[in-house]
Structure 1
Amino acid sequence: MLKLQIPKNRMKELIGHLRNDFELAQLERGWEYVHKGLVTEAELKHGVEVHALVRGAKAFEVILDLDQYGKSECSCSEGPSCEHMAALVFWLYASFARPELLLQQLKQAIRVKSRQQRQSGAKAAEKRQDRLDPPTAEQMPGQWQKFFEQQFYGFSLSQQHSIELFHSAAKEKLTPYGNEWEPALRTLYALQMLLFIMRKIEQFYQEMRSSYLSYYIETGCKTVGRLCQEELLRLVPELDVRKLTRDYAAQWKETLAMIESMALSGKESPLSWPTVYRSVWWQMQDQPKWLKAEHERVRRLLETPDLMPRRRDALVMAAAHFAVIEGDDEEARAQMERLTKREAKDFFLYLHHCYEREAWDRMLAWLRWLLPVVQRAQQEELRQFCHYWMEAVQQQDDDREWIEVMVALLPRTYSFYTSYLMKTSRYRAWIDLQLASHISPQNLYSVDLHTVEKHDATLVLPLYHQAVERTIAEKNRTAYAAAGRMLKKLESLYKKLQRQKAWDDYIYRLATKHSRLRALQEELKRGKWVP
């Protein structure tokens, strides 16, 4: 009977939506439509959309988007989850098993869910009776964190409740409580608020990894995580460490302990907790007693036998950072050679620190050490690496080293290298790069081509010759037309250079070489290059 069967994993996702987004009455009516044979004209369109008609009192058109369920729709007026949509899902399920059995399973699941919601509602009512008072300046950060947790108790992620929504809601709701505190404590409160948001991001990330929304959640967690980390790195320099260690030592010590527990655990996370740890301790460089105690504690942890690789790497990174704080980068890099896995993003903290202080020689030493790591880095990390090196190269006597780095990292550095060559008026090298990369002049900025042509028109000739040959090799009329346009440009260049004979020789040899390509010969005749 059925002529349409979707992949099993898509079917599981649809069943999840039936369980989570539909009322029991809607599911029962949807099954009745299938049972009475009222689902008709079902077909798969565009590879990811199932279209069908569900005929009740009226005929309604249902569209199920298998790729992005949120885009699914029905022509009825009941909203995004209706009995007609449920009917189409039951109809699709019939190619796997009996829809009535699925209905029974869903009924049971919905009853259990309803019972759990009633129980959680009762617990939530109890919790509301035990509401904590708003944070005060006299409390410890742990109490602030408990209050934060209570304010967002029961918040869960879904298509309607994104991680971005949680981030904005948390900042809007929690920020005002510390606004009237004295500056040092107010900044500490802001740090604690960011730590709470980051911990919740990590929690959501772990909880939703097996969900059908896992990719959506993971992407959101990483995006918002980067945003929080950038906010935190801007906030850390504002910390009045001297006042915190003197007047609020207990609160500050508890804050450091929270950061350490996250950063030195070595567990997988969408956040870079080691970067948070190192940036905070860097602010403690005027507190030698605190630094010495923490450094010794990290060294003792490193001596623990049978450390897991990720935890060991986190501890090695932390221990090496104390050498960086003391200004001994060479010793720090020597220690970091022990890392099981080095990632470029873990070291941009040092590059940015050097950039802010215009410590160009120090930055170059880190850049050279990072070069092997960057070769396998993600494109965004490579982009940051190139920007830092471009800043450093401007302070050098020459840029030969920078050029060698860009060439070594080709083709990934093409955009940086081509831009730099144009900026420094290295037009011959720029042309050589386009030729080696097989870039057509049609894909280059016209202003760049015009600049090179104005400097020396002979330089662009090989670029057009190569592009013409590569275009003709595609052997279709569209390509021949494109070749014709480039030949017109070539002709004008040869005339500009007063090399008419060379042009005549070239066009004769081109026509002879491709004499069997009739469509190309027509294009050459149209350009009046052959009789």
Structure 2
Amino acid sequence: MLKLQIPKNRMNELIGHLRDDFNLARLERGWEYYHKGRVTDMELKHGVEVHALVRGGTKAFEVIIDLDDFSKSECSCSDGKRCQHMVAVVFKLYTSFARPELLLQQLRQAIMVKNRQQQAKQSGTRTAAEKRTERLEPPSQGDTPGVWQKFFDQQFYGFSLSQQSSIEMFHSAVKEKLTPYGEGWASPLRELYSLHLLLFIMRKIEQFYQDTKSSYLSYYIESGCKTVGRQCYDELMKLVPLLDADKLTQEYPEYWKETLAMIADTALSGKESPLSWPTVYRSVWWQMNDQPAWLTEERSRVLRLLETPDLMPRRKDALVMAAAHFSVIAGDDEGARQQMERLTKREAKDFFLYLHRCYEENAWDRMLAWLRWLLPAVQRAQQEELRQFCQYWMEAVQRQEEDAEWANVMVALLPRTYPFYTAYLMKAGRYKAWIDLQLSNRVSPLNLYSQDLQAVEKHDPTLVLPLYHQAVERTIAEKNRNAYKSATRFLKKLESLYKRLNRQHAWEDYIYRLAMKYARLRALQEELKKGKWIP
């Protein structure tokens, strides 16, 4: 069987037929056959026909792809001229050019666009392609945010993810192309325009995520979505404090209402997303603390939505957090936490917004109250979320008279909190507790910072003795020549420590007992002799 590589122009023609002549269901089914390795015995005959066998459920079907005239292609199955077995063979042919999963993704997006256009024509409305020909003017201060968003969509119509076009590239392209339009505007519209740029990027990220969710590259696309989503979140946290909510509500109320409605529609929907839309919603509404009428109206609307029967858990959680947030804005943190006990799922990342605000306002007691409430959720959190939790608690504990509560939390969360706890103990000068932590985690001195060991040794040399004793025993237990050599290095350090402490007799007693304990390990005995510790 030959490893086929047909000419590139022939391959492009086949791709065009997959896009134009096959529906999405056949395409997905053909991909499944290819992906499971069911295409075999593929060969080129007569220079223009690709013959292959495709195994179905209980039998194999013969497929013939005519490269000169695709309409003459055929399959021995009962589905006729446009079957999934033909699709599988085309995917197999594509492996000589690039990764077939990317082709599947591109075809899926092209077919969905084509279907939307056909639906629009059938309903008597203009297609997206037709609307695109009517070019919108660049955004101006006189246009509403909805018009800005339409212009953004138009400028990036048809953008899709591929090997050449990543989510990171999309983010950069949007910023480079669209940011200049609003740079000369007067405040607060300049900041509002910047907010809508971020909302557009986030909206498109979510679209990319949904469109490629079932593709072979879904994991990598989801990872890219989350990376750029975090970047957008960081930009948002810097931008939101610059928004003059008072001026927007007074001079541009319609613009602001449209913006808030756009955010709420997504944030309160509860749909799965790689982005934290509820955090966007709460951050923006926190800027409205001097507009009680607006806050009261929105809170009432959210509470009415919460009364809707048979709410899905995700949507209910989004509404509960939104309703509780208005209590936080009013300063009633305890009331907010009581409301959020209704949450189906409590995730630590949803509440770092409050911890950060407490940090900015130096509200350490308020921060500690949130940290204590978050502890059960943090125990199930990802490592990055745990890192943020520990950093906030370290900041808060430095302003407290005692750190016993924090230390108990760190111990309870070991071993995941090891790097944070060990750093704090060293910083606080609690060297005995630091050594005990290393011993309990069986950490070798070779894996510790030399500066830390030197600090402990300078404070009290006797503290490091158990650490080196444990290291000697652990390396000898490996029972090989290299391990014995490592053990002798630890023994040399121990000898110097005992001499420094003027405890030569204790050292001689220790080395004698060690030699007797491992008398049968000949290689170790040789290393001890080289060190002149035994005759």
Name the TM tier (shorter chain).
0.7 to 0.9
Can you list the C-alpha shifts for 1:331-372, whole angstroms capped at 9, x where unaligned? 000000110000000000000111111111111111111111
Matched with 1:98 is: 42
Matched with 1:415 is: 419
Can you list the C-alpha shifts for 1:460-514, whole angstroms capped at 9, x where unaligned? 1100011110111111111111111111111111111111111111111111111
Matched with 2:8 is: 23
| 1:484 equivalent in alignment to 2:488 | yes
Matches within 5 A, 1:310-329: 310-329=314-333
Residue 132 (structure 1) shift: 1.1
TM-score by length of 1: 0.80
Can you list the C-alpha shifts for 1:227-253, whole angstroms capped at 9, x where unaligned? 001111111111111111111111110
| Aligned-partner residue type, residue 401 of structure 1 | E
Matched with 1:290 is: 294
- In structure 2, C-alpha distance between the alignment counterparts of 1:337 and 1:500, rounded to whole Å: 62
Matched with 1:165 is: 169
Query: Aligned in 2, Cα 1:275/1:518: closer, same or farther, shift over 3 Å?
Result: same
How large is the RMSD of aligned CA atoms in angstroms?
Answer: 2.9
The aligned length equals 452
| Aligned-partner residue type, residue 23 of structure 1 | K
Matched with 2:452 is: 448
| 1:374 equivalent in alignment to 2:378 | yes
- In structure 2, C-alpha distance between the alignment counterparts of 1:528 and 1:138, rounded to whole Å: 89
| 1:240 equivalent in alignment to 2:244 | yes
Matched with 2:431 is: 427
Mean alpha-carbon deviation: is it higher for 374-383 or for 310-319?
A: 374-383
| Aligned-partner residue type, residue 42 of structure 2 | R
| Aligned-partner residue type, residue 180 of structure 2 | P
Question: How much identity, in percent, do the aligned residues show?
Answer: 70
Matched with 2:502 is: 498
- In structure 1, C-alpha distance between the alignment counterparts of 2:358 and 2:450, rounded to whole Å: 37
Q: Given the alignment, which residue of 499, 510, 515 partners 1:511? A: 515
Matched with 1:207 is: 211
Query: Aligned in 2, Cα 1:113/1:384: closer, same or farther, shift over 3 Å?
Result: closer
| 1:140 equivalent in alignment to 2:144 | yes
Q: Given the alignment, which residue of 395, 401, 414 partners 1:397? A: 401
Matched with 2:78 is: none
Question: Which 4+ residue blocks in structure 1 deviate beyond 2 angstroms?
Answer: 22-28, 92-114, 119-129
Describe the SS at the equivalent of 1:286. coil
Query: Aligned in 2, Cα 1:387/1:93: closer, same or farther, shift over 3 Å?
Result: closer
Matched with 1:65 is: none
Describe the SS at the equivalent of 2:136. coil
Matched with 1:475 is: 479
Matched with 1:193 is: 197
Unaligned runs of 5+ in 2: 14-33, 44-49, 53-63, 66-85, 95-102, 119-126
Can you list the C-alpha shifts for 1:104-124, whole angstroms capped at 9, x where unaligned? 33686799969x79x979988
Matched with 1:362 is: 366
Describe the SS at the equivalent of 1:183. coil
| Aligned-partner residue type, residue 165 of structure 1 | M
| Aligned-partner residue type, residue 289 of structure 1 | A
Residue 212 (structure 1) shift: 2.1
- In structure 2, C-alpha distance between the alignment counterparts of 1:366 and 1:113, rounded to whole Å: 48
Query: Aligned in 2, Cα 1:330/1:27: closer, same or farther, shift over 3 Å?
Result: closer
Residue 95 (structure 1) shift: 8.2
Q: Given the alignment, which residue of 305, 310, 332 partners 1:306? A: 310
Can you list the C-alpha shifts for 1:243-294, whole angstroms capped at 9, x where unaligned? 1111111111010000001100001101000000001111011111100000
Describe the SS at the equivalent of 2:188. helix
Residue 94 (structure 1) shift: 9.4
Matched with 1:338 is: 342
Matched with 1:254 is: 258
Residue 134 (structure 1) shift: 0.9
- In structure 1, C-alpha distance between the alignment counterparts of 2:407 and 2:90, rounded to whole Å: 67
| Aligned-partner residue type, residue 164 of structure 1 | E
Describe the SS at the equivalent of 2:258. helix
- In structure 1, C-alpha distance between the alignment counterparts of 2:278 and 2:525, rounded to whole Å: 65
Residue 431 (structure 1) shift: 0.6
- In structure 1, C-alpha distance between the alignment counterparts of 2:257 and 2:368, rounded to whole Å: 35
- In structure 1, C-alpha distance between the alignment counterparts of 2:305 and 2:128, rounded to whole Å: 40
Q: Given the alignment, which residue of 344, 349, 352 partners 2:353? A: 349
- In structure 2, C-alpha distance between the alignment counterparts of 1:344 and 1:450, rounded to whole Å: 37
Can you list the C-alpha shifts for 1:402-434, whole angstroms capped at 9, x where unaligned? 211111111111111111111111111111110
Matched with 1:155 is: 159
Mean alpha-carbon deviation: is it higher for 100-109 or for 312-321?
A: 100-109
Residue 125 (structure 1) shift: 7.0
Query: Aligned in 2, Cα 1:146/1:474: closer, same or farther, shift over 3 Å?
Result: same
- In structure 1, C-alpha distance between the alignment counterparts of 2:225 and 2:421, rounded to whole Å: 33
Query: Aligned in 2, Cα 1:404/1:26: closer, same or farther, shift over 3 Å?
Result: same
Describe the SS at the equivalent of 2:393. helix
| Aligned-partner residue type, residue 257 of structure 1 | A
- In structure 2, C-alpha distance between the alignment counterparts of 1:113 and 1:315, rounded to whole Å: 37
- In structure 2, C-alpha distance between the alignment counterparts of 1:205 and 1:336, rounded to whole Å: 28
Query: Aligned in 2, Cα 1:145/1:101: closer, same or farther, shift over 3 Å?
Result: farther
Residue 23 (structure 1) shift: 2.2
| Aligned-partner residue type, residue 159 of structure 2 | F
Matched with 1:55 is: none
Can you list the C-alpha shifts for 1:307-332, whole angstroms capped at 9, x where unaligned? 00000000000000000010000000
Q: Given the alignment, which residue of 221, 227, 238 partners 1:223? A: 227
Describe the SS at the equivalent of 2:192. helix
| 1:130 equivalent in alignment to 2:115 | no
Describe the SS at the equivalent of 1:132. coil
Describe the SS at the equivalent of 1:307. coil
- In structure 2, C-alpha distance between the alignment counterparts of 1:156 and 1:477, rounded to whole Å: 58
Describe the SS at the equivalent of 2:270. coil
| Aligned-partner residue type, residue 268 of structure 1 | E
Describe the SS at the equivalent of 1:410. coil
- In structure 2, C-alpha distance between the alignment counterparts of 1:323 and 1:451, rounded to whole Å: 48
Mean alpha-carbon deviation: is it higher for 124-133 or for 268-277?
A: 124-133
Unaligned runs of 5+ in 1: 3-13, 29-89
| Aligned-partner residue type, residue 140 of structure 1 | T
